Amino acid sequence: MELRLNGTREYRQAADYVAAALIFLQDNVLLREPLRREHLKPRLLGHWGSCPGITMAYAALSCLVKERDTDVLLVTGPGHGAPANHANLWLEGTHETYDPALSRTDSGLHELARRYCAPDGFPSHLSPALPGTLHEGGELGYALATAFGAAFDAPGRLVACIVGDGEAETGPTAGAWHSSKFLDPVTGGAVLPILHLNGYKISSPTVFATMSDEELTALFRGYGWAPRIVDMTQDPQSEAITDAVRDAHTAIVDIQARARAGDMPERPPWPMIALRSLKGQGAPAKAGGKRIEGTFHAHQVPLADVHDDPEQFRALEAWLRSYRPDELFDGAGRPRPEVLAVCPRGDRRIGMQPAGDGGRLRRPLVLPPLEPHAVDVHAGPGIASASPNRVLAEWLAEIMRRTEASRDFRIMSPDELASNKLDSILSVSGRAYAWPVDEYAEDLSRDGRVMEVLSEHNCQGWLQGYLQTGRHGLFPTYEAFASVVDSMLNQYAKWLKMSREVPWRAPVSSLTYLLTSEGWRQEHNGYSHQGPGFINNLLTKKSTVTGVYLPPDANTLLVTMERLLADTGRINLVVSGKHTAAQWLDLDAARRHCEAGASIWHWASTYEGEDPEVILACAGGIPTVETLAAAALLRRDLPDARIRVVNIVDLCVLTPPDRHPHGMADAGFRELFGTDTPVVLDFHGYPSAVHQLLHGRPEPERFHVRGYVEEGSTTTPYDLLARNGVSRHDLVITALGHLHGRATVTGDLAAAHARHRDRLREVIRRTGTDPTEITEWKWQR
């Protein structure tokens, strides 16, 4: 007979009391004496409005775990409801497990109250410091996609996701509802969304809460869900939410059992719950002539003037005492047994869910050797040609083969795998899709591990959830549209930075972006597809969690990806070309180059690069070609000029070592760039990114950085380069201006190169194609 736990009233009452106490009290936390103003925190921070609803869901899920021994991970979208999460973690004993100072006693609760919103304590929202948490929720919209990422390839896991009704208004959440169509009931777990409808945002009604039950039901049925609406507004102590969670779990188990027995439902009707409760349920009905409970006035701190307003002060004490804390906690401040009756034990507690600290579940990828996939360049630099992405794809396909049993590697991409020349991966694993489709659709598989959806937000959220629960993955996308997830990147970078400061958190696999279809070769799409600004955004983040790589050819791309797929605790950005191009370094040389981060290419320099008059530096595949072409032109025109060519693969080596862990030591930097030699640096992206990194290096003004300056159109590759001043001829002109002692000669040469560049552009305007001197150029010693 199934165990059924009822009577969660005492537990919810205790959790709501603790949550409210954390917001208001710094002393007398259990109201052992009459409340005085000195017991109040001097600054009242936090959000009460969603706390009661979070606890309703938490208590119901705890009952489910205890009754059915279910593996539940909780993702809380309204992260500013953190007082509720703290309260539940404290009651179930998870806080105490991680820190004995937060024991389930009077002193432990006082310590938790002291730390909440204190400079040395917990923030007002969820953070990595909270056990069992993998999503902050500080910026709304990303919880549901993250929850699905945690459920992929975890067949025994139920990921419950509380989605706030304000959060539900966001575009990322709207797209994430379709994630169920990508979830395989055989190889995956399940996601149980709990849409929390409490009526208001900061000061406005929420769209979803104003919809009728019929409208909500029609909407979510249209999405493919089987919705159940639970109304707790009239009877907040009702067990309806507990019953709904039980029923949802029963439906989930039925779908999975049928699918795993070979009877796959055509459109699995995954359950979801819409939970109605009053905003700030339990708060004073009125204060100061305003309604509080059930209105936006309960969103943050309901009685914000409690320090100075006697009426609010009296209302606060009456509110807190209405929970009857003396009946919920014994003389030592311990929760009474009836309060804890619903709490699971050990690792089954929601806060102790192992996937909530997924770095401890992580196992390193067994990466295949690079040698069988490397491009042969024995004939010399620039002779062999290959598409870097096609080469990489064969190696990634081998990773897919090697992880067929473990199922711990996925690729998330916005429908761009084939466009980016990575489609050979599909020979090993198809595109994941669980719903029936037209038979003409290619390479689809319910258990596929390639995730393609035209939502960068979904790709980012899925991958974050996947990585944070101990797995590995890659996010390839068009360079121009990576910025769609700029804000998600910002939030995740903060999460990783804070995670490093939590001693018990184990690092998770690094999140790696592979940006391709780069702007310099998007001539058929035009200006809208030209935008390398994602680099700039990443460089604003904490240096301990970021890296930017611009491999110049296929072999350096292989070496870079081998390194990054073994990396942990970081966000890494790789920019790579998909078109067939010249290859420069053999595999051994590529390893040495990537290890150094930047090096002199002696074979491309004059006098082996010794004692240079000018340095030509480059970072990126296209800039490498243009720089080498410029070096060849200078050698032809001024054979006695001393020119050094430096290639940069790890952009952050340019940073002084005290500002980035990859920063090159001063001595190594001098070996590459000298101390006063002029440097013409051709960069893949916006020049400002390089200038930012060079700050603090000797004589940074001697670096003349050329890059994308927001000039574009539907045009040819060479014309696009010339429009932005980064063509080989522009580089030569810039270099000639810094070759001292040859003013007459260099001035004439510069003018000649300018005229030649302009003639080429005139030909392009007439013919619409680049001339053969550009398209068929090859490096020659």
Question: pLDDT, tens digit, for every residue of 659-680?
Answer: 999 999 999 999 999 999 999 9
Burial of 331 (0-12, 13-18, 19+ CB in 10 A): exposed
Paired tokens of 450 = 């390639």
Burial of 219 (0-12, 13-18, 19+ CB in 10 A): middle
Instruction: Write the DSSP string, 384-443.
Output: SEE-HHHHHHHHHHHHHHHTTTT--EEEEESS-TTTTT-GGGGGTS-EE--S---TT--S
Give the chain's end-to-end CA distance (angstroms, integer).
Answer: 83
pLDDT of residue 742: 67
Q: Is residue 229 a contact partner of residue 216, using CB atoms and an 8 Å limit?
A: yes
Query: Of the candidates 730, 716, 728, 726, which has an alpha carbon nearest to the alpha carbon of residue 767?
Result: 716
pLDDT of residue 408: 98
Average pLDDT over residues 42-64: 96
Percent of the chain exceeding pLDDT 70 equals 98
pLDDT of residue 744: 59
Q: Determine the 3-state secondary structure of 194 from DSSP.
A: strand
Residue 440 amino acid letter: Y
Q: Is residue 209 a contact partner of residue 274, using CB atoms and an 8 Å limit?
A: no
Paired tokens of 249 = 């779990």
Average pLDDT over residues 436-465: 94
Token pair 């969670």 is found at 245
Percent of the chain exceeding pLDDT 90 equals 90
pLDDT of residue 438: 83
Q: Determine the 3-state secondary structure of 163 from DSSP.
A: strand
Paired tokens of 426 = 């599909």
Question: Is the pLDDT confidence value at 114 over 90?
Answer: yes
Question: Is the pLDDT confidence value at 495 over 70?
Answer: yes
Q: Is residue 44 a contact partner of residue 304, using CB atoms and an 8 Å limit?
A: yes
The count of other CB atoms within 10 Å of the CB of residue 273 is 23
Q: Is residue 222 a contact partner of residue 38, using CB atoms and an 8 Å limit?
A: no
Question: pLDDT, tens digit, for every residue of 721-769?
Answer: 999 999 999 999 999 999 876 665 778 899 999 999 999 999 999 999 9
Instruction: Write the DSSP string, 757-780.
Output: HHHHHHHHHHHSS--HHHHT----
Question: pLDDT, tens digit, for every residue of 416-435?
Answer: 899 999 999 999 999 999 99
Residues in a beta bridge with 575: 515
Question: Is the pLDDT confidence value at 522 over 80?
Answer: no
Average pLDDT over residues 476-496: 95
Q: Is residue 323 a contact partner of residue 11, using CB atoms and an 8 Å limit?
A: no
Q: Is residue 457 a contact partner of residue 488, using CB atoms and an 8 Å limit?
A: yes
Average pLDDT, the chain: 95
Q: Is residue 199 a contact partner of residue 206, using CB atoms and an 8 Å limit?
A: yes
Q: Is residue 12 a contact partner of residue 53, using CB atoms and an 8 Å limit?
A: no
Domains defined along the chain, listed by start:
9-355 (3.40.50.970), 387-581 (3.40.50.970), 597-775 (3.40.50.920)
Q: Is residue 199 a contact partner of residue 209, using CB atoms and an 8 Å limit?
A: yes
In this prediction, residue 319 has a pLDDT band, given cuts at 50, 70 and 90, of very high
Average pLDDT over residues 392-416: 97
Cα–Cα distance measured from residue 492 to residue 192, given in angstroms and rounded to the nearest whole number: 23
Question: pLDDT, tens digit, for every residue of 626-654?
Answer: 999 999 999 999 999 999 999 999 999 99
Q: What is the greatest pairwise CA distance in the chain?
A: 98
Indicate the DSSP class of residue 568.
Answer: B
Q: Lowest mean pLDDT of 29-33, 504-508, 747-751, name the range.
A: 747-751
Strand positions, DSSP E, 334-376: none
Instruction: Write the DSSP string, 15-32.
Output: HHHHHHHHHHBSS-TT-S
Q: What strands lie across the sheet with 226-231, from one edge to the other?
A: 71-76, 157-164, 190-197, 271-276, 226-231
Indicate the DSSP class of residue 500.
Answer: T
Average pLDDT over residues 278-293: 92
In this prediction, residue 1 has a pLDDT band, given cuts at 50, 70 and 90, of very low
The model carries a pTM of 0.96
Burial of 419 (0-12, 13-18, 19+ CB in 10 A): middle
| Vertex 296: Cα angle to 292 and 299 (nearest 5) | 90
CA distances from 127 to 101, 346, 403, 500, 669 (A): 19, 22, 31, 12, 38
Residue 88 amino acid letter: N
Cα–Cα distance measured from residue 582 to residue 165, given in angstroms and rounded to the nearest whole number: 53
Residue 82 amino acid letter: A
Paired tokens of 82 = 């953190």
Q: Is residue 575 a contact partner of residue 516, using CB atoms and an 8 Å limit?
A: yes
Q: Determine the 3-state secondary structure of 331 from DSSP.
A: coil
pLDDT of residue 743: 60
Q: Is residue 416 a contact partner of residue 517, using CB atoms and an 8 Å limit?
A: yes
Q: Lowest mean pLDDT of 39-43, 74-78, 777-781, name the range.
A: 777-781
Paired tokens of 619 = 């970072």
Question: Is the pLDDT confidence value at 4 over 80?
Answer: no
Paired tokens of 145 = 């996609």
CA distances from 30 to 45, 118, 464 (A): 19, 19, 39
